[in-house]
Chain A
Amino acid sequence: MPAWGTCLVIAIVAELVYFTLTTRQFAGHGTGMLDLTEQFAPTGVLALGLAMVILTGNIDLSCGANASLAAVIAGTVLSKGGDPVLAIVAAIAVSTLFGLFNGFIVAFIGIDSLLVTLATQFIVTSIATSVAGASPPFGFPSAFQLIGQGSVNDVPIALLIFLVIALLVIVGVGYTSLGRSLTLIGYNPRAALYSGIAIRGSLTAVFTLCGAMSGVAGVLLAAYYNSAQPDIGTDLLLPAITAVILGGVDIFGGRGLMGEVVLAVFLLGFLSQGMLIEGDSSLSITMITGLVLIGALVIKVVFERNFRERMTARMQSLQTLRPFRPPQGISEDADG
């Protein structure tokens, strides 16, 4: 079986070809596909932040809610007449703080990240709903909307932002001390401790980064939809996790390439957009996404297990009890 990244690329090409041939509006005038990326760029950013957390063997269930909160804050600042830059900074600052909170509890108090982020997700959702108030903000200045809807030479700005972040994450995880530490922590936390890796600091950092990326995702969402509903980001959690797992990141940590996560984002993104254009509802898209996740994993696991079983079978056959054989040349017991 070829490398996972290659499989993803093949799948992307296959689906692009399929959709272009079957649905007229998909390719548009050649640039239609690019426009579609605006829709899933926020999910992509979220997936990248989440991927770094999962790389360490943890998880962040609150990142979707965090994105919602960021969107709401940005929207609120804008609707009060604030500068778009201020809105963006405020949004990302708040979501980063919540990321830091998550990181602190996981790294320093030592509670399992599943439980912590389960709880923070609830808390952040409440705060977002509360801040949004009875009528959530909408109708933002066009300068702000450009982030989510504008393009530069037919390339959507949202896509550019996603690609820039993707590049930073790929390079960061692959080529910085922090990135190295994250992968090593994911592979073997004890060996990482004995190697002198700053586990607490790294974990706090990665959750904080995830919080920051949730903030960026939230800003993109608010800009794209031109409104800030308090649940705008919560729906993104599922597709984001799916993209991370589909991208080959091991849920237990360690294994996984950020580049392949980016590929998975495109794979899933175009899949859902193509189906939308075809006329499928958003919930059946969720269903197909779930099926793709399960299907891909089953294939991966079954194949790996087949390989592993063949190896263990070979090992075992070398270790079974054999009939008595006289030893070669060694004399009886030495004198006692």
Chain B
Amino acid sequence: MADHVERAGPVVRRGPGLHSVSGGDYEARGVSKSFGGVTVLHDVSVHFCRGEIHSLIGENGAGKSTLLKILAGMLTADYGELVLNGKLLSALSPREAQRSGVYLVPQEPRLMPDLSVAENLYLGALPKGRFSAVAWRQIIDTTEELITSVGLRADPRLPAGRLSLAQQQLLECARALSHGCGTIFFDEPTSPLTARDAERLFELMWQMRDQRLTLGFISHRLDEIEAVSDRITVLRDGAVVARAERGTWTRENLVTAMIGRKLTITRRTRRTAEPGTIMLDVDELVAPPEVNGMSVRVRAGEVVGLAGLVGSGRTEFAETVFGIRRPASGSVRVNGRDVTGASPRKCIDAGLIYLAEDRGRNGIFADVDIARNATSAIVGRLPRVAGPFVRTRKEQEIAQAAVLEMDVRASSIVAAIKTLSGGNQQKALLARWMLAKPLVAIFDEPTRGVDIGAKESIYSIIDTLAAAGLAALVISSELEELVRICDRVYTVYEGRVAGELAGDAVTLEALGQLAVGALWRRQGTRSRCLPPGASCTCHRGGPCCCAAARSW
């Protein structure tokens, strides 16, 4: 990462007509938050000071994003206090937060696609000129100044929907400034950015820091965190476990704090049976821009993991395999059958199923009863009577049996699935997919938003299924999960398989270093270094790494 150098450049300007603003002194005290029985934050206290870039680090699910959302008024904490400049904030809404000078640049920028860049900046606060008419000339001019000062080069009259993701993010920053916000939080801004775009963002952040603004920052990449932060707070499982100021941390300390020493890591499931034939054979699958040539093989009875950072393209890979996205090149074979680019229906009929990541959007039919949810993938294969007519009683029995087998706790099978807890919903979805009698299953974040009890349940389900011969591919950002249930783990980086860990090499340390980005360094688009024990894949066209295996 480039060194921090004093940058001379255009001063970051606030919007016209707004009172001058400096960063706020923002403190969260004892904040706790639960979602449906799952504790996401527990008694978290963090202090964001003026003129500082304060980073939050931790694994996925550690609660960083939730904390920022609470600070910006998008969520309400169950317990705790928010103190801005000495004043206690109550009933914070996003609008209130903005008025108090707090702005959250979200992970996915949310702009109005058809309105111009300039109008997006001044949404809800258009300055007026003569005759109370909107002063477009003035707006466009100041917009140009403002966006140039944040490093965004775009025509202010362009519809915001045409900007690239990186540009949209910069626009969000400009919005924060135009609203006179002095306390700006960034939620994982760099995941989808290229090295150059990230660099630009950091320059902007340093400028803002020098203007005595208050900045909060979340990232998965330790090298970025180390280069950019003045202060670091480490979260783990919803609690603050470490704080450090610039100059007092080491990479090892941070990594250890993030992963922690788990006493309860259960012994890895030892599979006695030898894995069988190759059930899923993906060869050099390409679906730009996220999937850039991935090859994966899963055998019957094996549980294989896909590990990687957020944005590494694993979900896009799964969607391409399953037929939601079109592949540009490569091949997919299920039990020998070619299903490259085939529709989801054809994949399911060939024996491949996909438990999607976002179950609210892509998984459940929220208002439909559990039974119908369970049979939605086998609508064509239900028992019939007198021709095409489904025997609903039989269908319910089938659904009931499947749901019980997956240990779904529900009052009744005809209740709407949205009444179930997250864990039970997930198990109901598992019931749906198992009814399709798959040979290969891709599980994408199978325990996200699921409580501990249901997690164990799901792990044992996956174990049982593998023992019965299912070939399972598990995409997960939870390291314990992968260590616990996988026989083999592929590591994925920027749409390519960067390495493979097998058997006893699948350890928490090895995966942990990957997950916290300890090893990935940005150098253009090349990645370097693999954890000890990982096998190199450059002979298969993956990024070259052999020469410089680092030892920690």
Chain A interface residues toward B at CB < 8 A: 171, 174-177, 180-181, 183-184, 187-188, 190-198, 254-255, 319-327, 330, 333-336
A310 and B511 CA atoms in complex are apart in Å by 47
**Identity of the chain A residue whose Cβ is nearest the Cβ of B322 in the assembled complex:** A194
For residue A177, which residues in chain B have a CB less than 8 angstroms away from its CB?
379-380, 382, 388, 390
Contact A195 B243 (CB under 8 A): no
Taking a contact as CB atoms closer than 8 A, the residue among A320, A323, A336 that contacts B234 in the complex is A336
A240 and B531 CA atoms in complex are apart in Å by 67
Contact B379 A336 (CB under 8 A): no
A-B contact pairs, 28 of them (CB 8 A): A171-B389, A175-B388, A177-B379, A181-B379, A184-B365, A184-B372, A188-B365, A190-B362, A192-B365, A194-B322, A194-B363, A195-B344, A196-B343, A196-B344, A196-B345, A196-B377, A197-B376, A319-B78, A321-B76, A321-B91, A322-B79, A324-B80, A324-B81, A327-B32, A327-B42, A330-B239, A333-B242, A336-B234
Contact A175 B81 (CB under 8 A): no
Contact A336 B344 (CB under 8 A): no
Asked if B420 is at the interface of the complex by the 8 Å CB criterion, the answer is no
Given contacts A191-B364, A324-B79, 10 further A-B contacts (CB under 8 A): A180-B379, A184-B365, A191-B363, A193-B344, A195-B344, A196-B344, A321-B82, A321-B91, A327-B43, A330-B42
For residue A320, which residues in chain B have a CB less than 8 angstroms away from its CB?
76, 91
For residue B249, which residues in chain A have a CB less than 8 angstroms away from its CB?
336
Q: In the complex, which range does the number of interface residues on chain B fall in? A: 35 or more
A183 and B390 CA atoms in complex are apart in Å by 15
Contact A191 B365 (CB under 8 A): yes
> Which interface residue of A183, A190, A194, A320 has the most chain B CB atoms within 10 A?
A194
Asked if B278 is at the interface of the complex by the 8 Å CB criterion, the answer is no
Asked if B324 is at the interface of the complex by the 8 Å CB criterion, the answer is yes
Known: A177-B379, A180-B390, A321-B77. A187 touches B366 (CB 8 A): yes
Chain B interface residues toward A at CB < 8 A: 29-30, 32, 42-43, 76-82, 90-92, 234, 239-244, 249, 253, 257, 260, 322, 324, 343-345, 347-349, 354, 356, 361-368, 372, 376-377, 379-380, 382, 388-390, 392, 432
Q: How far is the CB of A53 from chain B (nearest CB, A)?
A: 19
**Identity of the chain B residue whose Cβ is nearest the Cβ of A198 in the assembled complex:** B345
Contact A334 B260 (CB under 8 A): yes
Contact A321 B81 (CB under 8 A): yes
For residue A254, which residues in chain B have a CB less than 8 angstroms away from its CB?
365, 367-368
For residue B367, which residues in chain A have a CB less than 8 angstroms away from its CB?
187, 254-255
Contact A333 B382 (CB under 8 A): no
Q: How far is the CB of B337 from chain A (nearest CB, A)?
A: 16
For residue B32, which residues in chain A have a CB less than 8 angstroms away from its CB?
327
Q: How far is the CB of B393 from chain A (nearest CB, A)?
A: 11
Consensus secondary structure, chain B interface:
mixed
Contact A336 B324 (CB under 8 A): no
A191 and B372 CA atoms in complex are apart in Å by 13
Contact B244 A336 (CB under 8 A): yes
A194 and B243 CA atoms in complex are apart in Å by 43
Contact A327 B30 (CB under 8 A): yes
A192 and B70 CA atoms in complex are apart in Å by 34
A255 and B367 CA atoms in complex are apart in Å by 9
**Identity of the chain B residue whose Cβ is nearest the Cβ of A318 in the assembled complex:** B78
Taking a contact as CB atoms closer than 8 A, the residue among A180, A187, A321 that contacts B80 in the complex is A321
Q: How far is the CB of A62 from chain B (nearest CB, A)?
A: 28
For residue A334, which residues in chain B have a CB less than 8 angstroms away from its CB?
241-242, 257, 260
A193 and B242 CA atoms in complex are apart in Å by 44
For residue B356, which residues in chain A have a CB less than 8 angstroms away from its CB?
194
A326 and B32 CA atoms in complex are apart in Å by 11
Contact B30 A336 (CB under 8 A): no
Contact B379 A197 (CB under 8 A): yes
A190 and B92 CA atoms in complex are apart in Å by 34
**Identity of the chain B residue whose Cβ is nearest the Cβ of A200 in the assembled complex:** B343
**Identity of the chain B residue whose Cβ is nearest the Cβ of A316 in the assembled complex:** B76
Known: A180-B379, A324-B80, A324-B81. A187 touches B345 (CB 8 A): no
For residue B76, which residues in chain A have a CB less than 8 angstroms away from its CB?
319-321
Known: A188-B365, A194-B354, A321-B77. A333 touches B390 (CB 8 A): no
A196 and B90 CA atoms in complex are apart in Å by 47
Contact A175 B389 (CB under 8 A): yes
For residue A196, which residues in chain B have a CB less than 8 angstroms away from its CB?
343-345, 347-349, 377
For residue B432, which residues in chain A have a CB less than 8 angstroms away from its CB?
195
A192 and B324 CA atoms in complex are apart in Å by 12
A327 and B45 CA atoms in complex are apart in Å by 12
**Identity of the chain A residue whose Cβ is nearest the Cβ of B78 in the assembled complex:** A319
For residue A188, which residues in chain B have a CB less than 8 angstroms away from its CB?
361, 364-366
A205 and B96 CA atoms in complex are apart in Å by 50
Contact B43 A175 (CB under 8 A): no
The 5 closest A-B pairs by CB, nearest first: A336-B242, A327-B43, A196-B345, A196-B348, A195-B376
A322 and B376 CA atoms in complex are apart in Å by 43
Taking a contact as CB atoms closer than 8 A, the residue among B92, B253, B344 that contacts A194 in the complex is B344
**Identity of the chain A residue whose Cβ is nearest the Cβ of B260 in the assembled complex:** A334
Q: How far is the CB of B323 from chain A (nearest CB, A)?
A: 9
Q: How far is the CB of B46 from chain A (nearest CB, A)?
A: 12
A254 and B366 CA atoms in complex are apart in Å by 11
For residue A191, which residues in chain B have a CB less than 8 angstroms away from its CB?
361-365, 376
A39 and B364 CA atoms in complex are apart in Å by 43
A177 and B390 CA atoms in complex are apart in Å by 8
A330 and B90 CA atoms in complex are apart in Å by 26
A194 and B343 CA atoms in complex are apart in Å by 10
**Identity of the chain B residue whose Cβ is nearest the Cβ of A255 in the assembled complex:** B367
For residue A190, which residues in chain B have a CB less than 8 angstroms away from its CB?
361-362
A70 and B345 CA atoms in complex are apart in Å by 36
A335 and B253 CA atoms in complex are apart in Å by 9
Q: How far is the CB of A95 from chain B (nearest CB, A)?
A: 23
A191 and B429 CA atoms in complex are apart in Å by 11
> Which interface residue of A176, A183, A188 has the most chain B CB atoms within 10 A?
A188
> Which interface residue of B43, B92, B260, B392 has the most chain A CB atoms within 10 A?
B43
For residue A255, which residues in chain B have a CB less than 8 angstroms away from its CB?
367
A191 and B257 CA atoms in complex are apart in Å by 39
For residue A193, which residues in chain B have a CB less than 8 angstroms away from its CB?
324, 344, 362
**Identity of the chain B residue whose Cβ is nearest the Cβ of A201 in the assembled complex:** B345
For residue B82, which residues in chain A have a CB less than 8 angstroms away from its CB?
321
Contact B368 A184 (CB under 8 A): yes
For residue A171, which residues in chain B have a CB less than 8 angstroms away from its CB?
389
For residue B382, which residues in chain A have a CB less than 8 angstroms away from its CB?
177
Taking a contact as CB atoms closer than 8 A, the residue among B79, B243, B389 that contacts A336 in the complex is B243
Contact A176 B243 (CB under 8 A): no
For residue B253, which residues in chain A have a CB less than 8 angstroms away from its CB?
336
> Which interface residue of A174, A190, A334 has the most chain B CB atoms within 10 A?
A334
A327 and B31 CA atoms in complex are apart in Å by 10
Taking a contact as CB atoms closer than 8 A, the residue among A180, A324, A335 that contacts B372 in the complex is A180
For residue B239, which residues in chain A have a CB less than 8 angstroms away from its CB?
330
A192 and B347 CA atoms in complex are apart in Å by 14
Q: How far is the CB of B529 from chain A (nearest CB, A)?
A: 25
Known: A175-B392, A325-B79, A330-B43. A187 touches B242 (CB 8 A): no
**Identity of the chain A residue whose Cβ is nearest the Cβ of B358 in the assembled complex:** A190
> Which interface residue of A171, A175, A198 has the most chain B CB atoms within 10 A?
A175
Taking a contact as CB atoms closer than 8 A, the residue among A197, A322, A327, A333 that contacts B345 in the complex is A197
Taking a contact as CB atoms closer than 8 A, the residue among B90, B363, B389 that contacts A176 in the complex is B389
Q: How far is the CB of B434 from chain A (nearest CB, A)?
A: 14
